[in-house]
Amino acid sequence: MPKKRPEGKLYLVTGGAGFIGSCFVLDCLARKQAAVLNLDKLTYSGNLQNLAAVMDDPRHIFATGDIGDTALVDELLENYAPEAIINFAAESHVDRSIVDPTPFVDANVAGLCSFLGATLRWWRKLPAGQAATFRFLHISTDEVFGSLGPTDPAFTEKTPYAPNSPYSASKAASDHFVRAFHETYGLPTLITNCSNNYGPRQFPEKLIPLVLLNALSGRDIPIYGKGDNVRDWLHVEDHCAAINLTLERGTPGESYNIGGRSERRNLEVIEAICALLDKVRPDPQGHYARLIRHVQDRPGHDRRYAIDCGKIEHELGWKPAHDFTRGLAETVDWYLNNPDWLAAVQSGAYRNWVEKNYHNR
Ligand code: NAD
Ligand code: TDX
């Protein structure tokens, strides 16, 4: 490794070149909360451009690699002795998991399990004081709880797991391993289960940036089925603030639900993006909503997610700062103001994915 451990606190962040991980890293360094050792495999969704602002910062150390590479993880832990690990690294897209579940098992289950094992071996050798304050925070999703009907109460931390997609099954398995490492070996783990995130730097395979990109390029905007599936949207910065609070004040062995109390039907979200674009980037050909096309539904498509985030609000004092309507408008502006970022992520691999997922829909 080229750089030495900087002075003060240091976090090992995995998946820190992705959408949410990069937001966490940028925020952590901006607030001088801790130095960051950033371990990322740089898969199709890992993007060093997301970290351009901190690549020369001596408090940011970037290591390319897999969380499942035990030799590498052993070396990083020995050399950098982090005060906490925040695990964002994962295969993250439901549609890709439907096309091929195997990479999801490799990264989210087998990779995570090796990573936990390496962490445990290293943690057991720490002096008692350091071992007691160390934290392993695993970032998970509301999708592990399955699907709600229109009037069902929101998911709580006690809702039984019922994953429906290969992605959510792999995340559920990862949560179970994290829990088991706490129950069996006493590793001080925490889990957060968050709803759908939106904001800058999200890879345009996910709904909001995909809609924006397709609208701006005059392509069809694909909506799965009737468009009445409901997601609970949370700004990525609010998610990162909740992760920080959980790290500082959460009780090891516990899980915390995080959500935006902003349930929206997919069609509503798409129409809102089209209306925003009509205002700020009017298309001479007509309203962007003309591009919306109902296409074949996602198999096993979860009907509705909703999160009861009372526990993290009451126990840790978290509250989201972004309102969805304003946050969405700011997000649209970010993509419009960063055409180079948008152009760069549309590599050949991205175009192949779009062709594969949407061609025969
Ligand atoms: P993303 O796909 O944008 O980023 C994932 C990052 O992990 C990438 O940088 C990738 O290169 C890296 N990575 C993948 N496999 C790896 C491996 N084996 N070793 C090291 N690095 C690896 O995903 P995201 O949207 O930023 O999601 C981050 C985490 O948050 C995931 O665990 C996801 O399940 C969870 N989550 C996401 C959302 C959401 O709405 N996006 C909501 C709740 C939870
Ligand atoms: O082209 C599309 N058309 C469409 O109608 C796409 C890509 C999606 N959709 C629908 C499917 C979902 O109901 O929009 C909704 C959101 O889809 P995604 O952006 O793929 O997100 P989702 O499947 O809800 O999962 C997301 O939230 C939870 C993240 O991708 C996960 O990583 C996270 O755990």
Which protein residue has the closest C-alpha to ligand 1 atom 4? Answer: 18
- The residue with tokens 């061609």 is 359
Q: How many angstroms is it from 266 CA to the middle of ligand 2?
A: 9
Q: How many angstroms is it from 94 CA to the middle of ligand 2?
A: 7
What is the edge-to-edge ordering of all strands in the sheet holding 255-258? 60-64, 35-40, 10-14, 84-87, 135-141, 189-194, 255-258
Average pLDDT over residues 41-53: 96
Q: How many angstroms is it from 293 CA to the middle of ligand 1?
A: 28
Q: To test the ligand 2 pocket, which listed residue (96, 196, 212, 353) has its Cβ within 8 A of the most ligand atoms?
A: 196
Cα angle 317, 321, 325 (rounded to 5 degrees) comes to 145
Model's pTM, two decimal places?
Answer: 0.98
Confidence grade of residue 2 (pLDDT, cut at 50, 70, 90): low
Q: For ligand 1, which residues put their CB under 6 angstroms from it? A: 14-15, 17-21, 39-43, 45-46, 66-68, 88-92, 107, 111, 139, 141, 171, 194, 196-197, 203
Contacts of 178 (CB under 8 A, 6+ apart): 112, 116, 136, 138, 189, 191
Count CB neighbours of 283 within 10 A.
15
How many helical (H) and strand (E) elements, i.e. helices and strands, does the chain have? 14, 12
CB 92 less than 6 A from any atom of ligand 2: yes
Count CB neighbours of 12 within 10 A.
25
Residue 13: in which H helix or E strand, if any?
strand 10-14
Structure tokens at 101: 């579940």
- The residue with tokens 């925070």 is 137
CB 271 less than 6 A from any atom of ligand 2: no
- Pairwise CA distance, residues 217 & 220, whole Å: 9
Q: What is the model's pLDDT at position 114?
A: 98
**Residues 11-44 pLDDT 10s:** 999 999 999 999 999 999 999 999 999 999 999 9
- Pairwise CA distance, residues 268 & 275, whole Å: 10
3-state secondary structure of 346: coil
Confidence grade of residue 52 (pLDDT, cut at 50, 70, 90): very high
**Residues 163-176 pLDDT 10s:** 999 999 999 999 99
Confidence grade of residue 134 (pLDDT, cut at 50, 70, 90): very high
- Alpha carbon of 117 to those of 159, 177, 315: distances in Å? 28, 10, 30
Q: Which atom from ligand 2 is nearest to the alpha carbon of 92?
A: 32
- Alpha carbon of 19 to those of 64, 135, 187, 235, 320: distances in Å? 16, 22, 27, 12, 18
- Alpha carbon of 34 to those of 26, 30, 343: distances in Å? 11, 9, 32
- The residue with tokens 């690990």 is 85
In DSSP terms, which residues pair with 187 in a beta bridge?
Answer: none
Percent of the chain residues past pLDDT 70, beyond the cut: 99
Phi, psi for residue 29 in degrees, rounded to 5: -75, -40
Q: One of 66, 91, 143, 175 is an active-site residue; which one?
A: 143
208-226 burial string, b = 16+ CB within 10 Å, else e? bbbbbbbbbeeeebbbbee
CB 136 within 8 A of CB 85: yes
Fold exhibited by the domain 10-200+234-263+304-322:
Rossmann fold (3.40.50)
Q: How many angstroms is it from 227 CA to the middle of ligand 2?
A: 11
Instruction: Reply yes or no on whether the pLDDT at 46 is more than 70.
Output: yes
- Pairwise CA distance, residues 215 & 241, whole Å: 31
CB 274 within 8 A of CB 292: yes
Tell me the pairing of strands 60-64 and 35-40: parallel
Phi, psi for residue 37 in degrees, rounded to 5: -100, 115
Structure tokens at 115: 């990573």
Confidence grade of residue 349 (pLDDT, cut at 50, 70, 90): confident
Average pLDDT over residues 301-308: 98
CB 196 less than 6 A from any atom of ligand 2: yes
